[in-house]
Structure 1
Amino acid sequence: MSPQHLTVRAIEATLVVVPMRRALGTSAMLVTQAPLLLLDLQTEEGITGRAYLFCYLEAAGAAALALVRDINAELVGKTAAPAAVRRALEARFRLLGARGIVSMLMAGIDIACWDALAICAGLPLATLLGAQPRPIPAYNSNGLGLLDARAAADEALELVSEGFHAIKMRLGRPLAKDDLAAVRAVKQALPAGIALMADFNQALSRNAAVERCQQLDDEGLYWIEEPVRHDDYATSAELTALLRTPVQIGENFAGPRAMAQALAQRACDFVMPDLERIGGVSGWIDASALANVAGIELSSHLFPEVSAHLLASTPTAHWIEYVDWADAILQEPLKVVDGCLSAPARPGNGLTWDPDAVRHYQKW
């Protein structure tokens, strides 16, 4: 069977809401559960490609479910080739606009198409993309929200004890001194050699970012992430030139073109595209090429299961962000080995749902 000749039979979507082991307190909101939209792209040839999307809000997942019905009507009976699917969906949503939930769903369908192709070829997704699954250094992002200094230090040690050599904490407390105290408490608690990333989640104005980031510049942070609005490339470029600590952005790149604009403006030292915002596997391939040409290290944002395959095929691969939010509904979650994650060697992207768990957490 040729991977290029798979035909879409149906696309099924299921919304589950999974509680998080640790609440994630950010400058934008407190997140205690993960609304995940599970996508199953079934083909006439009997192969099913899978993907999941993180919807941030349960209501967004419910809206996405309604759009899946429209996507089904558009794609049933047509090829599952990713490029052809994207062209069909871009045409379908031209007037509505391929943004927000629409863009997210298009990325999810793209991921599922690539999974089906890899399964059909009998190859891990990484190998289909020209690489072999390999260990990727990972940082633990399961927690370390806006806690007080002592609680942050305690949780930092918990995160490291789960087998990681790097962790990430969130910043953006109302007072700069409290952010500084939390960073210092965590750094003091961590064993030598543990990398500490910090994420503001777009909390700061330009002036506040200059002041706060300079205060943190000698605290030994591995990077400072998204201090200002995600598309304020001018201020990000100013901070990149000003600070000794690397500036990381990219989880909000709305496709590879946005990443190209950021790189052209020298808006960061590192990039970290998000799988559902960059455009799925196809968008990642373009982003990887941009990072390679620019000679800039590329990390992932969320979705560690598929990102492990993509980073294995990324020339400037850097770090994989580890969250365990999907573990509860997966038959075979990823395992951390010596601070790294490796994509599984089985065909496809490795996503297989646990049907009992899906029924337990299903909302729609």
Structure 2
Amino acid sequence: MATTLPTPDSADNDTIAWVRVSSVFLPLANPISDAKVLTGRQKPMTEIAILFAEIETRDGHKGLGFSYSKRAGGPGQFAHAKEIAPGLIGENPSDIAKLWDKLCWAGASVGRSGLATQAIGAFDVALWDLKAKRANLSLARLLGAQRDSVRCYNTSGGFLHTPLDQLMKNTDISREKGIGGIKLKVGQPDFALDIQRVGTIRKHLGDNFPLMVDANQQWDRPTAQRMCRHFEALNLVWIEEPLDCYDAEGHAALAAQFDTPIATGEMLTSVAEHWEFIKNRSADYLMPDAPRVGGITPYLKVAALAEHAGLMLAPHFAMELHVHLAAAYPTEPWVEHFEWLEPLFNERLAIKDGRMLVPTRPGLGLTLSGQVKAWTAQSVETGRRA
């Protein structure tokens, strides 16, 4: 008896018809300083460079994605994205892994990590957004959500430029909003100031409220040993980036020696770089950043490796994206609550009882705000809209 094969639906035959990439500079209300500023390695941050990718198919399906750069690099990301964008035209938007590889090899001579793949990240996120919208599912549901909300902690109120009295007010504001944890920046040249600030905030919050610290790579190995030993008594959720972001051996030694978990990974820009930390047990909490590693496609590879190794997860920054990805991780993760990107979008994430609610709108559930146009420095289109 002959078997009748199903007729492919329009999704199977749809193709990418139009792509727009935009370079947007988001101004920050106040200059931001962490330990890298106090050690003279960087200047205070006054804006964030956002790379947006908008994709539309022949059948009218749309996707929105973004990548970003803090301080230098935004124009470079845009230039690379503009150059490789034509490679998407005519391709099936469902072939996300294939398209990632195509775009990666198009610019492989300048590297398969860093700026080159961060440019790809905007397209990759847009393709996943499009796929979820076409399925009428949130991105979290498309990936296979484990939960409807994720633990969240606030960082934006705990930077080193913030005076101690304001720091305490900021922690109160965060708790009143329902945020479930507080992270403080450390790594000052005068270590006694770090000890004083963290000790004061621990007393202010109480012994059991989730508290994290972040040294932003500014300690050497002996200093990290001393500071981790001191902070061991403060019941911290983690100590983040105590050493240079590529020092897998040093982080592994700290993770093995101290009960307080060690967290790192936000500055790593490829699956290979994360694997070095995973296989060496260099972190208790791995902190991948989807835009920095090249989008959702490589992020999922990092998450799978982390799950296999039994690591906890706390994706870095970009909560509007990472709340979906964290919702799909088997072990309860943390998401970093940053208000900085909120002016870019019309939607807001909801917080309740220490947790960030996962949006139920299709895709990422994001649309660009009217303010984005005024902050757009460059924009280029390729192909034709349906």
Q: 1:179 to 1:3 in 2, by over 3 A?
A: farther
CA distance in 1, matches of 2:377, 2:328: 35
Amino acid at match of 1:256: V
Map of 1:316-335 to 2, 5 A cutoff? 316-335=331-350
CA distance in 2, matches of 1:5, 1:192: 58
Partner residue in 2 for 1:289:
304
Partner residue in 1 for 2:258:
243
User: Per-residue CA shift, 1:185-224, capped at 9, x if unaligned?
Assistant: 1112225642111101111111221122212221222110
Partner residue in 1 for 2:28:
20
CA distance in 1, matches of 2:103, 2:68: 20
Q: 1:162 to 1:267 in 2, by over 3 A?
A: same
SS at match of 1:216: helix
Amino acid at match of 1:103: T
Q: 1:45 to 1:347 in 2, by over 3 A?
A: same
Assess if the C-alpha contact under 8 Å between 1:12 and 1:40 holds in 2: yes
Q: How many residues align?
A: 362
Q: 1:347 to 1:2 in 2, by over 3 A?
A: farther
Map of 1:1-364 to 2, 5 A cutoff? 1=9, 3-21=11-29, 23-29=31-37, 30-57=44-71, 59-80=72-93, 81-131=95-145, 134-146=148-160, 147-191=162-206, 193-354=208-369, 356-364=370-378
Q: 1:22 to 1:142 in 2, by over 3 A?
A: farther
SS at match of 1:28: helix
C-alpha displacement at 1:352, in angstroms?
0.9
C-alpha displacement at 1:23, in angstroms?
4.5
Assess if the C-alpha contact under 8 Å between 1:37 and 1:54 holds in 2: yes
C-alpha displacement at 1:132, in angstroms?
6.3
Amino acid at match of 1:140: N
Amino acid at match of 1:362: T
Farther off after superposition, 8-17 or 231-240: 8-17
User: Per-residue CA shift, 1:216-255, capped at 9, x if unaligned?
Assistant: 2212221100010111011101111121211011112322
Farther off after superposition, 94-103 or 268-277: 94-103
SS at match of 1:66: helix
Rg comparison, structure with higher value: 2
C-alpha displacement at 1:97, in angstroms?
1.4
Amino acid at match of 2:105: A
Q: Name stretches of at least 5 consecutive residues in structure 1 with no aligned partner.
A: none
C-alpha displacement at 1:360, in angstroms?
2.9
SS at match of 1:317: coil
C-alpha displacement at 1:321, in angstroms?
0.7
Assess if the C-alpha contact under 8 Å between 2:104 and 2:117 holds in 1: no
CA distance in 1, matches of 2:181, 2:47: 23
RMSD between aligned residues = 1.9
Assess if the C-alpha contact under 8 Å between 2:119 and 2:294 holds in 1: no
Q: Name stretches of at least 5 consecutive residues in structure 2 with no aligned partner.
A: 1-8, 38-43, 379-386
Q: Percent identity?
A: 28
CA distance in 2, matches of 1:156, 1:130: 33
The structure whose RCO (Cα within 8 Å, separation 6+) is larger is 2
Amino acid at match of 1:101: L
What TM-score does the superposition give when structure 2 sets the normalisation length?
A: 0.88
